[in-house]
Structure 1
Amino acid sequence: MFDINALRLTWGRAFLVDRPDSTDVSQDKTTTRAYVVDVQLLPGWYMVEIRLDGQATERKARIKLSSASSPESLAMSLNSRQVSKRLIYLPARERIEIEVDSQGPLVERIETFRLARVTSRFARSRMTAKLEALHPKYRSCGNGYDVTKVSHDHRDLPKAWRDYCRLFDESEPLASYQDWIYQFDTLSADTRRAMLGNLRGVGDHPVFAIGIEVGDVSTDHLETAILSVVGQIYPHWWLIIEDRREGAEDKLVLPSNLRSDARISIISGNGSSDAPATLDRKLAEWGEWITYLGPEDVLPEHALYVLADAIRRDPDVDLIYADEDSIDAQGTRHSPRFKSDWNDDLGLSSDLFTGLAVYRTGVFTAAGGRDPRHGSASRFDMTLRCLGHTSGDRILHIPRVLYHGRAYAEAVNDPVAQKRAREAGRQAVERHLSRIGAPAVVFAKEHGHHVQYAVPEKKPLVSLIIPTRNGFDLLSRCVDSIIEKTRYRAFEIIIVDNGSDDRETLAYMAKVSAEHGVRVIRDDSPFNYSALNNRAVQVARGQFVALVNNDVEVSDGGWLDEVMGNALRPEVGVVGVKLLFTNGTVQHAGVIIGLSGCADHLHRGLPGDAPGYMARAAVTQSLSAVTGACLVVRRSLYEQVGGLNERDLAVSFNDVDFCLRVRQAGYTVLWTPHAVLYHHESATRGGDDTPEKVARATREADYIRRSWGDLIANDPAYNPNLSLHGFDCRLAWPPRTESLRQLAQRI
């Protein structure tokens, strides 16, 4: 029977009905609410517009087409802050269903719904605009690259539709690493000629000494490694190959076509325990800069050119490291490792100087070179010793892939070798901390090192400041968990009551005040998160203050010991923690400036025990900012930098701005994954779901962009080769760096 409503042009909320089995809870604790659009729709193009009610920050949704001939599920992301839109194509008459997932027991309902029939011309225009704005392969990268744009025929509507749908489906990347290499990391003949021409016009040529050690392992790719040095565009280098094969009767001989190159020499280290020292002395004698190349690894042809250019631009630099990737047996590149700029804590948690690492000879010699007693960690150990002969502002990170390491599955999967390497690295960090007199112990973890700094026997008082308005369930869970679970007992709790009128909440605050000495400060002024905290800090008794949201819950009793061990370090200004959603996925693992257009949380939605990109979700590191949902700061420093900005940032981004001002004052903002709490985000404040709230949120984001614009495109804790769209460290398209072509054109 024909459905007369199918002839309409639009359908509103009245046509959206609950599916009979409207809610369901899966094994992973995801709750799903399902709806049916109660119309047998005609084939063609449609635009759907949806907004949730409540305080949903982001919810995954699926639009299910029930056609028996071609069942299909279209992905969509929904929230309560704005209307989400997407196109739908129906190949046949059918009804559609909408399923919305939640990470907790409750699923927000669809508040706003509109479905509209659109023409194929409108659909093509909308798809083209969205693809050119968001899809890497459709986006113009400007004229700075040798390959300026991947060509697409917009008349191919089926292909455009498939690519459009992939914008909403996060199950696979929109572009592969091979696509990225072709577009942004491949030299053209013109760029190569420009680099060679530049070398003739430059008088100062830093000289690199490159060491290769050949041991008893397979050397099937040694010639490839040597050829990658010989093929360098930059010619001012020496290559010293040390033959360390035990019991080898045949001498290591260069291929005939390389024997005439006087820049290459082979030395014997056979059977000598002093072999590394011998190679290091030779390198120090021959070069101004020292680096190493694995016997099966490869340098891209522009690696030394880029290094020399960086040294000319920054002549005071002492240590240099670059990004890297892996190559398989066939030479195919994969698994890029895009690193952050130097920061001491991340450098202790994991080795940033893997791949291409370059040492000024004077610093290398002063540090004593490598110590063979430290095995696989000998170079890491040497890097840490070099830190004693330079400073952080003389350590340079080059955000380019300048090293291709040969990857073997058996090496990665050898648990004995992994355990031995972790222990060697742990001991290297331990020796470094002993040299600088830092009171800490070091633990070897699966994904790096955990440096646990000591807390004095007489613990300084920490004032935990918790603003709230009503919200009995959240507030009681927060405060009770702090009182019952926190092992660091030198704390006071200050609840800032911002006009609560709920009897249960008021009774609870009176109870914990009487029984546990919790201080309650009444403040009935309009909600201003910055002002509420600033006023509480004025009456805090602690040497340190902790800003704590009322929707945070303590799960690990040692959280404050871990935080305070770091907060007591004189160079540290702010310490943030790892926060998990109720379902155990990551809510906060640090803030990246520029992410999502202003500032946002890295690794949001990652499983709570997953290491994240380059294990960044599993190791201590300094960042540009951490969330104010749970952070600790010395009270004197809080006052020194002026506290939270209550004039311009009443609700959002005040924590980001505060952390950036702390960094500007010369202090480190630290994030630790070893203090873990739950965060039921914005559960009492709600979303920005009115025109006034949206306008306020826009003003606050604009303030951050104006005030900290230099960090928006290049947060030193991130990498310009990683995207500012999404929380999963996907590839930037294009990178926010000077292209190889532009570098070659610069004199």
Structure 2
Amino acid sequence: MDNQELQNDYKKLYEAEREKTEVLLSKIEESEKEIEELRFKLDRIKNSFAWKLSVPLRKGLHFYEKTRDRLTRYGSIPGLMRKVRSKIQERKNMKRHGTASFPTPEEAKAQRETVFEHKVKFSILVPLYNTPEKFLTDMLDSVKNQTYENWELCLADGSDHEHAYVGEICAKYKAEDSRIVYHVLDHNYGISGNTNECLKLASGDYIGLFDHDDILHPAALFEYAKAINETGADYIYCDEITFEGDSIDHMIVLHFKPDFAIDNLRGNNYICHFSAFSRELLDEAGVFRSAYDGSQDHDMILRLTAKARKVYHVPKALYYWRSHKASVAQDINAKTYAVDAAKRAVHDHILDVYGMDAKVESTRAFPTIFRIRYPLLEKPLISIVIPNKDHMEDLSRCVESIVSKSTYPNYEIIVVENNSETKEIFDYYKALEHNERIRVVKYEGDFNYSRPGSQKHRHPG
């Protein structure tokens, strides 16, 4: 094909596309006219006397439809009322864990006057980076208002020049309280690097990790000092609440945590905030690692708890995690870099502790909750115990699924026969005899899932 033919083809294509464009522009123009006409009609209707007169009727109809839908969803008026009462109770419970939980002046005075045998000094690390003014002052005030007074606040500021007010506010607070230590960084080292710079400022015997946009309960350090004195814990954490807006009482999530469980922690960083740990423990575990930025806390918590002598959970909501557009609390699942960093942290932790190259996978429901597949160093015998009494279809379906789908080779199936009466089931037992993986043992007591299961131990393979 020569140049002239190519030009002719391009010209034909151009003309065809131009015609399509003209048709589309014409349709757009018609649509805009229709929209204007409909908008004019709608305005006339809304300004009419009849429309204004029908406002109460339409509101009543809307209320009726909404109530009908709720009744359909909850089954009855009593069901709907139970839901309403539940919501009211939920709001009351939320308030109880917010500002209503703060110590009264009398309680705060008593806490300040409490003398502990071990007067722990807490160094609270807060890396700063372009912190919004309101968030910054809320954070600073929440530390200054602690009823336990043996603390220092270590601030390392990596903010840029456009956020110079961060330094000005910190300088003002430092001038008012000598327990505040402030240092301007020559550049932003990232979350881990900035936290390590905070650590260089710390002189306390316990270290606390605090985010620059969050809030501490006034009694947080008092409760931690009390726990350390009573239990000797070298790692402490508490429950926390996620809130949005300017008030901690505007709660989104109440996070009541379980006590320490390492397998749970590997699958999900449920500890999160507010972590405090001994300086001695930190020296053993090492500082923050920038390779895990985005999930640096999970990495650090795994390393610290692996070496801790005593991990203690304070079962009180003492930390308020602010949710806003720039925060991880808003939606960590959308931040894939944080999820990937967490997977690496868990993988490397297991490799370091056990020497195992485990596979860490996100679950379908929540990317930040992991399923961990440990490599099998051996292939031990797995005994699958199935109690049965005349459940022919259920038993055959269960056995068939195991035999046909199992990819693990070293298993056995033990059927515990418990007073069956049908000939069909005994014929099925007979048919199972050809499979050397399957055995049938008898149990003649009353049917009970746990008792027949325990019979297996009396019939070793």
TM above 0.5: yes
Structure 2 residue aligned with 1:290: 207
- Report the 3-state secondary structure (helix = DSSP H, G, I; strand = E; otherwise coil) of the residue aligned with 1:362: helix
- 2:337 maps to a residue whose letter is R
Structure 1 residue 369: Cα displacement: 1.9
Which residue is 1:397 aligned to? 313
TM-score w.r.t. the length of structure 1 is: 0.47
Letter in 2 for 1:276: T
Distance 1:334 1:72 in 2: 26
Residue 92 of structure 2 corresponds to residue 179 of structure 1:
yes
Question: Which residue is equivalent to 2:393?
Answer: 473
1:275-301 deviation digits (Å, cap 9, x = unpaired): 433211222xx2121112211111121
Deviation for aligned residue 1:323: 0.8
Of 197, 215, 219, which aligns to 1:278?
Answer: 197
Match of 2:264 among 342, 346, 357: 346
Match of 1:305 among 222, 237, 255: 222
For the 8 Å contact 2:103–2:219, the answer to whether it is kept is no
Is 2:159 aligned against 1:238?
no
What's the offset of the Cα at 1:200? 2.0
Matches within 5 A, 1:177-576: 177-183=90-96, 186-187=99-100, 191-204=104-117, 205-216=119-130, 218-247=132-161, 250=164, 252-254=167-169, 256=172, 259-271=175-187, 273=189, 275-283=194-202, 286-314=203-231, 316-331=232-247, 332-391=250-309, 394-409=310-325, 411=327, 418-445=335-362, 446-456=367-377, 459-515=379-435, 517-541=437-461
Contact 1:381–1:425 (CA<8 Å) still a contact in 2?
Answer: yes
Measured at CA, do residues 192 and 313 of structure 1 come closer, stay the same or move farther in structure 2, by a change above 3 Å? farther
Q: Which moved more, 1:458-467 or 1:359-368?
A: 458-467
Distance 1:481 1:226, change over 3 A: same
Residues 528 and 70 of structure 1: CA distance in aligned 2, closer, same or farther (over 3 Å)? closer
Q: CA deviation at 1:363?
A: 0.5
State how 1:64-75 maps to structure 2 within 5 Å. Answer: none
Judge conservation of contact 1:246–1:270 (CA < 8 Å) in 2: no
CA 1:257–1:226 in structure 2 vs 1: closer, same or farther (change >3 Å)? Answer: closer
Change (3 A) 1:399 1:282: same
The structural deviation recorded for 1:528 is 4.1
Q: CA deviation at 1:472?
A: 0.8
Alpha carbons 2:267, 2:369 under 8 Å: kept: yes
TM-score, scaled to structure 2: 0.74
Paired with 1:189 and 1:400, the residues of 2 have a C-alpha distance of 12
Deviations 1:490-539 (A, max 9, x none): 11111111111112222222112235652112333333444322222221
Separation in structure 2 between the aligned mates of residue 531 and residue 379 of structure 1, nearest angstrom: 45
Q: Given residue 178 of structure 2, which amino acid in structure 1 is its aligned partner?
A: A
Aligned residues: 381
Alignment of 1:96-115 (within 5 A): none
What is the Cα deviation at residue 184 of structure 1? 5.5
Instruction: Assess, with a 3 A threshold, how the Cα gap between structure 1 residues 185 and 220 changes in structure 2: closer, same or farther.
Output: closer
Check 1:257–1:387 CA distance in 2 against 1; reply closer, same or farther (3 A cut).
closer
User: 2:308 corresponds to which letter in structure 1?
Assistant: T
1 or 2, which has the higher strand percentage? 1
Could you tell me how far apart the structure 2 residues matched to 1:505 and 1:167 are?
Answer: 50
Residues 358-411 of structure 1: CA deviation (Å, up to 9, x unaligned)? 1111111222221233212222222222234324xx001111111111102465
Q: Deviations over 1:525-569 (max 9, x none)?
A: 33344432222222132xxxxxxxxxxxxxxxxxxxxxxxxxxxx
Unmatched runs of 5 consecutive residues or more in structure 1: 1-68, 77-87, 89-161, 542-747
Q: Is residue 219–residue 296 contact of structure 1 (8 Å, CA) maintained in 2?
A: no
CA distance, structure 1, for counterparts of residue 389 and residue 140 of structure 2: 68
C-alpha contact (below 8 Å) 1:280/1:370 kept by paired residues: no
Corresponding residue for residue 109 of structure 1: none
1-side partners of 2:163 and 2:116: how far apart? Answer: 45
User: Percent of aligned positions with the same letter in both sequences?
Assistant: 22
For the residue of structure 2 that corresponds to 1:482, the secondary structure is helix
Q: Over residues 71-119 of structure 1, what are the superposed CA-to-partner deviations in whole Å (9 max), with x where a residue is unaligned?
A: 966967xxxxxxxxxxx9xxxxxxxxxxxxxxxxxxxxxxxxxxxxxxx
Counterparts of 1:70 and 1:372, CA distance in 2:
52
Q: What secondary structure is seen at the aligned counterpart in 1 of 2:120? A: coil
Distance 1:247 1:363 in 2: 36
Distance in 2, Cα, partners of 1:324 & 1:186: 13
> Offset of 1:258 from its aligned partner?
5.9
- Whether the 8 Å contact between 1:440 and 1:452 is mirrored in structure 2 is no
Aligned to 2:197, what secondary structure does the other structure show?
helix
One-letter amino acid matched to 1:449: F
1:25-64 → structure 2 map (5 Å cutoff): none
**Cα distance in structure 2, aligned partners of 1:528 and 1:304:** 51
8 A Cα contact 2:111 2:148, kept in partner:
no
Instruction: For 2:151 and 2:299, locate their aligned partners in 1 and report how far apart those are by CA, in whole Å.
Output: 25
Deviation of 1:440 (Å): 3.7
Contact 1:442 1:449 in 2 (8 A): no
- CA shift in 2, pair 1:303/1:337, >3 Å: same
Q: Could you tell me whether the CA contact under 8 Å between 1:467 and 1:533 is conserved in 2?
A: yes
SS at match of 1:443: strand
**Aligned equivalents of 1:194, 1:342: Cα separation in 2:** 29
Tell me, which stretches of 5 or more residues in structure 2 are unaligned? 1-67
CA distance in 2, matches of 1:296, 1:428: 24
Q: For 1:476 and 1:317, how far apart are their aligned partners in 2?
A: 53
Render the CA deviation track for 1:662-700: whole Å, top value 9, x for unaligned.
xxxxxxxxxxxxxxxxxxxxxxxxxxxxxxxxxxxxxxx
Larger mean CA deviation between 183-192 and 374-383 belongs to 183-192
Deviation at 1:322, TM superposition (A): 0.8
Q: CA RMSD in A?
A: 3.0
Q: Closer, same or farther in 2 for the Cα pair 1:411/1:309, shift >3 Å? A: closer
2:351 and 2:101 map into 1 onto residues whose CA distance is 49
Q: What is the deviation of 1:477?
A: 1.0
C-alpha spacing 1:318/1:243, structure 2 compared with 1 (3 Å): same
1: CA distance between counterparts of 2:303 and 2:242? 27
Contact 1:245-1:270 within 8 A present in 2 as well: no
